[in-house]
A and B are shown apart, each in its own frame.
Chain A
Amino acid sequence: MFFDHLVLGATGEFLNIGDILATLVIFILLMLLLKKFAWGPLMGIMQQREDLIKSEIETAENSRLESHKLLEEQRSLLKDARTQAQEIVENAKKQGEVSREEIITTARAESGRMKDAAVQEIANERDKAISAVREEVVALSLLAATKVLEKEISEEDNRQLINETIAKAGEVQ
């Protein structure tokens, strides 16, 4: 018949056990060889890549946490430093204030003292000058009186007299 070859198993009156064996052996052999030479290494490399990616992700996560921690640390350090700087400036300001007050007080005291000393000095000098003048005046008066009056008077009496006169004159002045 024309369609005889389309019938299943039409190639012979028998079962091709040889073909079955050949198919099985060839396929299983192929599978084992490929597993050893192709799929095994390929799966290995894919697994390796998977592991690598996993570990890379882990590392990235870790370093992210690390950097976050460091950032926090730096931030707190910066904050501390800022507070400290503020404190230092504050302290310096206070110190400066105190020094200023001190210096002013000292200067004021010094100048007061100097003024007092000067006043004292001036007073002393004036007294000294007055007594010197007074002395001079007595001597001059005595000389003048002696000359003017030409009178014999003991020097002792004269001096007393003149002193009285001058004292009176000073009172009048």
Chain B
Amino acid sequence: MDHGAPMLEVFGIWFNLSNVMMLLVAALIVFLIAFIATRNLQLKPTGMQNFMEWIMDFVKGIINSNMDWRDGGRFHVLGITLIMFIFVSNMLGLPFAIVVNGDLWWKSPTADPTVAMTLAAMVLILSHYYGVKLKGLKGYSAGYIKPMPFLFPLKVIEEFANTLTLGLRLYGNIYAGEILLTLLAGLASASIFGFAAGILPMMLWQGFSIFIGAIQAFIFVMLTMVYLSHKVADDH
């Protein structure tokens, strides 16, 4: 379980090829699901279209619970893409892991801190961008001394804490799930007794990981909208 990572240096920039591949796989799966589901759109929805519309309404509900639709409508596409991408990413590492020459290739991309932190940082940077864009530099800056000016240091810390917790919560949950799955898989493949002992907890933990993956995708999008609404909405 002490696997390495397939690293590659291009022009002095290091790539973890496993991450790149898994991100591409996740993106491809999400795109295919969404693309196939939205072919042959009809006013009376059927099958997959129903499912996609349910996801849209679900994300719409998340946004509406945080801010006015007039402000939040622009984040609809971001929210849907995020929730599907993260959910699919979380699921990818569950059925199996592939290790080639001691390098871990197949895993959840969100089980990598860099990927999770990148997504979180992207969301937080977006929130600052839209804060300035929608409320002006003055309104945006005023947000740091509300409700009391002496809270300013805490407000600054909050921004970094938000970024860290958003990313690490996702990473920690998924990574922990995969670690335990790897341990159980190691136990199950060790001997016939290990298999007998490991198969039940393995199944239980995989089921639980599906639940965790779904919950984490939901929480990530929920918090994204909360942070965005802090910066964008006039009052809350």
Contact = CB atoms under 8 A, between A and B. Distances in A.
Interface string A1-16: 0101110110110111
Which of A14, A27, A29 neighbours the largest number of chain B CB atoms within 10 Å of its CB?
A27
B16 A19 contact: yes
Given A37-B38, A39-B34, A30 B14 contact: no
B120 to A, nearest CB: 11
Given A22-B23, A46-B56, 20 more contacts: A9-B113, A11-B4, A12-B14, A15-B14, A15-B114, A19-B114, A22-B15, A26-B23, A27-B23, A27-B122, A31-B78, A34-B77, A37-B35, A37-B38, A38-B52, A39-B76, A42-B49, A45-B43, A46-B53, A48-B43
B183 to A, nearest CB: 12
Interface of A: 2, 4-6, 8-9, 11-12, 14-24, 26-27, 29-31, 33-35, 37-39, 41-46, 48-49, 52
B33 to A, nearest CB: 9
Interface of B: 1-5, 7-8, 10, 13-16, 19-20, 23-24, 27, 30-31, 34-35, 37-38, 41-43, 49, 52-53, 56, 76-78, 80-81, 85, 109, 112-115, 118-119, 122, 168, 179
Which of A2, A24, A37, A46 neighbours the largest number of chain B CB atoms within 10 Å of its CB?
A46
Q: Which 5 A-B pairs have the closest CB atoms?
A: A18-B15, A38-B34, A23-B118, A19-B114, A30-B27
Contact of A19 (B10, B15, B41, B179): B15
B118 A38 contact: no
Contacts of A24: 118, 122
A16 B16 contact: yes
Contacts of A33: 31
Contacts of B16: 11, 16, 18-19
Contacts of B81: 27, 30-31, 34-35, 39
B14 A42 contact: no
A147 B37 CA distance: 154
Which of A14, A19, A27 neighbours the largest number of chain B CB atoms within 10 Å of its CB?
A19
B5 A12 contact: yes
B20 A22 contact: yes
A34 B30 contact: yes
A14 B14 contact: yes
A42 B27 contact: no
A163 B115 CA distance: 169
A23 B116 CA distance: 9
A15 B38 CA distance: 39
A33 B19 CA distance: 21
A2 B118 CA distance: 27
B41 A26 contact: no
Contacts of A12: 5, 7, 14
A34 B37 CA distance: 11
Contacts of B19: 16, 19, 22-23
